[in-house]
Structure 1
Amino acid sequence: MKVPSLSATLLTNTVMSAIAGLLLMAIPNPIGAFMGGVAPWLLQLLGAGLVLFALGVFLVRRALPGSGSTTGVAWVFALDMTWIIATPVVMLVYAQQLSLWGHLLLADVALLVMGFACLERYWLKRMRAGAVAV
Protein backbone atom coordinates (compact mmCIF):
# COMPACT_ATOMS: atom_id res chain seq x y z
CA MET A 1 0.00 0.00 0.00
CA LYS A 2 1.33 3.40 -0.97
CA VAL A 3 1.67 5.99 1.82
CA PRO A 4 -0.46 9.09 1.11
CA SER A 5 1.61 12.19 0.42
CA LEU A 6 2.05 14.83 3.10
CA SER A 7 0.03 17.24 0.98
CA ALA A 8 -2.87 14.76 0.71
CA THR A 9 -2.68 14.03 4.43
CA LEU A 10 -2.84 17.71 5.35
CA LEU A 11 -5.63 18.36 2.85
CA THR A 12 -7.71 15.51 4.29
CA ASN A 13 -7.01 16.74 7.83
CA THR A 14 -8.11 20.23 6.76
CA VAL A 15 -11.34 19.06 5.17
CA MET A 16 -12.31 16.69 8.00
CA SER A 17 -11.56 19.28 10.70
CA ALA A 18 -13.47 21.99 8.85
CA ILE A 19 -16.51 19.76 8.30
CA ALA A 20 -16.54 18.64 11.93
CA GLY A 21 -16.12 22.21 13.16
CA LEU A 22 -18.87 23.57 10.93
CA LEU A 23 -21.25 20.78 11.99
CA LEU A 24 -20.54 21.45 15.67
CA MET A 25 -21.25 25.14 15.17
CA ALA A 26 -24.34 24.64 12.99
CA ILE A 27 -26.17 21.85 14.83
CA PRO A 28 -24.83 21.64 18.39
CA ASN A 29 -28.17 20.64 19.95
CA PRO A 30 -28.68 17.30 18.17
CA ILE A 31 -24.99 16.42 18.43
CA GLY A 32 -24.98 17.27 22.14
CA ALA A 33 -28.11 15.18 22.73
CA PHE A 34 -26.58 12.26 20.79
CA MET A 35 -23.49 12.46 22.99
CA GLY A 36 -25.51 12.41 26.20
CA GLY A 37 -26.41 16.02 26.88
CA VAL A 38 -23.25 17.96 26.10
CA ALA A 39 -23.84 21.72 26.34
CA PRO A 40 -24.41 23.29 22.90
CA TRP A 41 -22.18 26.30 23.70
CA LEU A 42 -19.30 23.94 24.44
CA LEU A 43 -19.74 22.17 21.11
CA GLN A 44 -19.93 25.51 19.28
CA LEU A 45 -16.71 26.63 20.96
CA LEU A 46 -15.03 23.35 20.03
CA GLY A 47 -16.35 23.75 16.49
CA ALA A 48 -14.87 27.23 16.18
CA GLY A 49 -11.55 25.87 17.41
CA LEU A 50 -11.65 23.11 14.80
CA VAL A 51 -12.36 25.60 12.01
CA LEU A 52 -9.38 27.69 13.13
CA PHE A 53 -7.25 24.54 13.28
CA ALA A 54 -8.39 23.61 9.75
CA LEU A 55 -7.36 27.06 8.54
CA GLY A 56 -3.93 26.61 10.13
CA VAL A 57 -3.46 23.18 8.56
CA PHE A 58 -4.51 24.60 5.19
CA LEU A 59 -1.88 27.35 5.51
CA VAL A 60 0.81 24.81 6.44
CA ARG A 61 -0.13 22.71 3.41
CA ARG A 62 -0.06 25.76 1.17
CA ALA A 63 3.48 26.61 2.35
CA LEU A 64 4.85 23.20 1.32
CA PRO A 65 7.69 22.62 0.51
CA GLY A 66 9.00 26.04 1.49
CA SER A 67 11.16 27.05 4.38
CA GLY A 68 9.48 26.68 7.73
CA SER A 69 7.16 23.94 6.50
CA THR A 70 8.87 21.45 8.82
CA THR A 71 7.95 23.67 11.77
CA GLY A 72 4.38 23.97 10.52
CA VAL A 73 4.00 20.22 10.12
CA ALA A 74 5.50 19.73 13.58
CA TRP A 75 2.84 22.06 15.03
CA VAL A 76 0.03 20.22 13.26
CA PHE A 77 1.44 16.94 14.56
CA ALA A 78 1.70 18.33 18.11
CA LEU A 79 -1.88 19.60 18.05
CA ASP A 80 -3.14 16.27 16.71
CA MET A 81 -1.25 14.47 19.49
CA THR A 82 -2.79 16.83 22.03
CA TRP A 83 -6.25 15.85 20.74
CA ILE A 84 -5.39 12.15 21.00
CA ILE A 85 -4.06 12.47 24.56
CA ALA A 86 -6.95 14.69 25.68
CA THR A 87 -9.65 12.32 24.42
CA PRO A 88 -9.35 9.60 27.08
CA VAL A 89 -9.00 12.29 29.76
CA VAL A 90 -12.28 13.87 28.62
CA MET A 91 -13.89 10.43 28.44
CA LEU A 92 -12.87 9.68 32.04
CA VAL A 93 -13.70 13.09 33.51
CA TYR A 94 -17.11 13.18 31.83
CA ALA A 95 -17.84 9.45 31.96
CA GLN A 96 -21.15 9.98 33.76
CA GLN A 97 -22.38 12.68 31.37
CA LEU A 98 -21.46 10.97 28.09
CA SER A 99 -23.69 8.35 26.53
CA LEU A 100 -22.31 5.18 25.00
CA TRP A 101 -22.63 6.91 21.61
CA GLY A 102 -20.72 9.90 22.96
CA HIS A 103 -17.87 7.66 24.08
CA LEU A 104 -17.84 5.83 20.75
CA LEU A 105 -17.87 9.08 18.78
CA LEU A 106 -14.95 10.48 20.79
CA ALA A 107 -12.98 7.25 20.40
CA ASP A 108 -13.64 7.11 16.64
CA VAL A 109 -12.54 10.71 16.14
CA ALA A 110 -9.38 10.07 18.20
CA LEU A 111 -8.58 7.06 15.98
CA LEU A 112 -9.04 9.17 12.86
CA VAL A 113 -6.77 11.87 14.29
CA MET A 114 -4.24 9.17 15.22
CA GLY A 115 -4.13 8.15 11.56
CA PHE A 116 -3.34 11.73 10.58
CA ALA A 117 -0.70 11.98 13.31
CA CYS A 118 1.01 8.76 12.20
CA LEU A 119 1.24 10.01 8.62
CA GLU A 120 2.40 13.47 9.73
CA ARG A 121 5.09 11.90 11.91
CA TYR A 122 6.24 9.71 9.02
CA TRP A 123 6.61 12.72 6.71
CA LEU A 124 8.11 14.89 9.44
CA LYS A 125 10.89 12.35 10.01
CA ARG A 126 11.55 12.22 6.27
CA MET A 127 11.58 16.04 6.03
CA ARG A 128 14.08 16.32 8.89
CA ALA A 129 16.29 13.71 7.25
CA GLY A 130 16.18 15.70 4.01
CA ALA A 131 14.84 12.64 2.21
CA VAL A 132 11.55 13.98 0.96
CA ALA A 133 10.12 16.16 -1.70
CA VAL A 134 6.61 16.92 -0.46
Structure 2
Amino acid sequence: MAILSLQYDLLNQDDKDIFLIDEPEVNLGSTYIESTIVPMIKNLAKSKKIIVIATHDANIATRTYPVTSILKKSSNNIYDTFQGSMFTNELININDKRVLKWDEESENYLEGGSIAFKERGTLYGTSN
Protein backbone atom coordinates (compact mmCIF):
# COMPACT_ATOMS: atom_id res chain seq x y z
CA MET A 1 0.00 0.00 0.00
CA ALA A 2 2.87 2.40 0.85
CA ILE A 3 4.44 1.79 -2.55
CA LEU A 4 1.24 2.49 -4.46
CA SER A 5 0.35 5.55 -2.41
CA LEU A 6 3.76 7.18 -2.71
CA GLN A 7 4.12 6.36 -6.39
CA TYR A 8 0.62 7.70 -7.14
CA ASP A 9 1.30 10.91 -5.24
CA LEU A 10 4.61 11.52 -6.99
CA LEU A 11 3.30 10.76 -10.47
CA ASN A 12 -0.16 12.33 -10.43
CA GLN A 13 0.26 15.74 -8.87
CA ASP A 14 1.24 17.93 -11.82
CA ASP A 15 -0.82 20.78 -10.38
CA LYS A 16 1.20 20.85 -7.15
CA ASP A 17 4.32 23.00 -6.77
CA ILE A 18 5.45 21.81 -3.34
CA PHE A 19 5.89 18.27 -2.06
CA LEU A 20 6.45 17.43 1.62
CA ILE A 21 7.64 13.84 1.91
CA ASP A 22 8.24 12.27 5.31
CA GLU A 23 10.51 9.21 5.36
CA PRO A 24 9.50 7.68 2.03
CA GLU A 25 11.82 4.76 2.74
CA VAL A 26 9.56 3.37 5.49
CA ASN A 27 8.27 -0.06 4.45
CA LEU A 28 10.02 0.16 1.08
CA GLY A 29 13.01 -1.86 -0.07
CA SER A 30 16.29 -0.27 -1.08
CA THR A 31 16.00 -1.56 -4.64
CA TYR A 32 12.59 0.04 -5.11
CA ILE A 33 13.80 3.30 -3.61
CA GLU A 34 16.83 3.38 -5.93
CA SER A 35 15.05 2.25 -9.10
CA THR A 36 11.72 4.05 -8.70
CA ILE A 37 11.51 6.66 -5.93
CA VAL A 38 14.86 8.42 -6.51
CA PRO A 39 14.17 8.89 -10.26
CA MET A 40 10.66 10.21 -9.47
CA ILE A 41 12.09 12.76 -7.05
CA LYS A 42 14.71 13.81 -9.61
CA ASN A 43 11.99 14.27 -12.24
CA LEU A 44 9.96 16.44 -9.89
CA ALA A 45 13.04 18.58 -9.27
CA LYS A 46 13.69 18.90 -13.01
CA SER A 47 10.15 20.19 -13.44
CA LYS A 48 10.93 23.00 -10.96
CA LYS A 49 8.92 21.56 -8.07
CA ILE A 50 9.92 22.27 -4.48
CA ILE A 51 10.56 19.03 -2.63
CA VAL A 52 11.15 18.80 1.10
CA ILE A 53 12.13 15.32 2.27
CA ALA A 54 12.73 14.07 5.81
CA THR A 55 14.81 10.92 5.45
CA HIS A 56 17.39 8.67 7.03
CA ASP A 57 18.04 6.89 3.74
CA ALA A 58 21.46 7.60 2.25
CA ASN A 59 20.28 7.00 -1.33
CA ILE A 60 17.48 9.53 -1.05
CA ALA A 61 19.61 12.05 0.83
CA THR A 62 22.50 11.97 -1.63
CA ARG A 63 21.40 10.53 -4.97
CA THR A 64 18.64 13.12 -5.44
CA TYR A 65 21.38 15.82 -5.32
CA PRO A 66 19.62 18.15 -2.91
CA VAL A 67 20.31 21.85 -3.27
CA THR A 68 19.95 22.35 0.48
CA SER A 69 20.38 19.95 3.38
CA ILE A 70 19.17 20.61 6.92
CA LEU A 71 20.58 18.79 9.93
CA LYS A 72 19.01 19.07 13.37
CA LYS A 73 21.30 18.03 16.23
CA SER A 74 20.53 17.86 19.94
CA SER A 75 22.67 17.61 23.02
CA ASN A 76 21.47 18.06 26.61
CA ASN A 77 18.10 19.38 25.39
CA ILE A 78 19.85 22.03 23.30
CA TYR A 79 18.96 21.91 19.62
CA ASP A 80 21.12 23.19 16.79
CA THR A 81 20.00 23.58 13.22
CA PHE A 82 22.54 23.43 10.41
CA GLN A 83 21.89 24.26 6.79
CA GLY A 84 24.17 23.63 3.88
CA SER A 85 24.94 21.67 0.77
CA MET A 86 26.81 18.64 -0.46
CA PHE A 87 28.19 20.87 -3.21
CA THR A 88 30.00 23.17 -0.77
CA ASN A 89 30.61 20.40 1.79
CA GLU A 90 29.40 22.74 4.53
CA LEU A 91 26.60 22.74 7.08
CA ILE A 92 26.36 26.12 8.82
CA ASN A 93 24.64 26.62 12.17
CA ILE A 94 21.84 29.12 11.62
CA ASN A 95 22.42 30.74 15.02
CA ASP A 96 26.13 30.92 15.67
CA LYS A 97 27.58 30.19 12.19
CA ARG A 98 29.59 27.13 13.32
CA VAL A 99 30.51 25.05 10.29
CA LEU A 100 30.40 21.27 10.01
CA LYS A 101 31.51 19.19 7.04
CA TRP A 102 28.57 17.87 5.05
CA ASP A 103 30.32 14.63 4.08
CA GLU A 104 31.34 13.78 7.65
CA GLU A 105 27.88 14.44 9.08
CA SER A 106 26.24 12.50 6.27
CA GLU A 107 28.52 9.55 6.88
CA ASN A 108 27.61 9.61 10.58
CA TYR A 109 23.87 10.10 10.27
CA LEU A 110 23.09 8.31 7.01
CA GLU A 111 25.67 5.54 6.92
CA GLY A 112 26.11 4.76 10.63
CA GLY A 113 29.61 6.19 10.83
CA SER A 114 32.87 5.48 9.06
CA ILE A 115 33.33 2.02 10.63
CA ALA A 116 29.91 0.82 9.44
CA PHE A 117 30.44 2.38 6.00
CA LYS A 118 33.83 0.70 5.56
CA GLU A 119 32.50 -2.60 6.90
CA ARG A 120 29.78 -2.63 4.26
CA GLY A 121 32.43 -1.99 1.62
CA THR A 122 34.34 -5.02 2.88
CA LEU A 123 31.18 -7.14 2.90
CA TYR A 124 30.36 -6.07 -0.66
CA GLY A 125 33.87 -6.96 -1.79
CA THR A 126 35.38 -3.52 -2.35
CA SER A 127 38.78 -2.65 -0.98
CA ASN A 128 38.00 0.92 0.19
TM-score relative to the length of structure 2: 0.25
Higher RCO (CA-CA < 8 Å; seq separation 6+) = 1
* Structure richer in helix, relative to its length: 1
Q: TM-score, normalised by structure 1?
A: 0.25
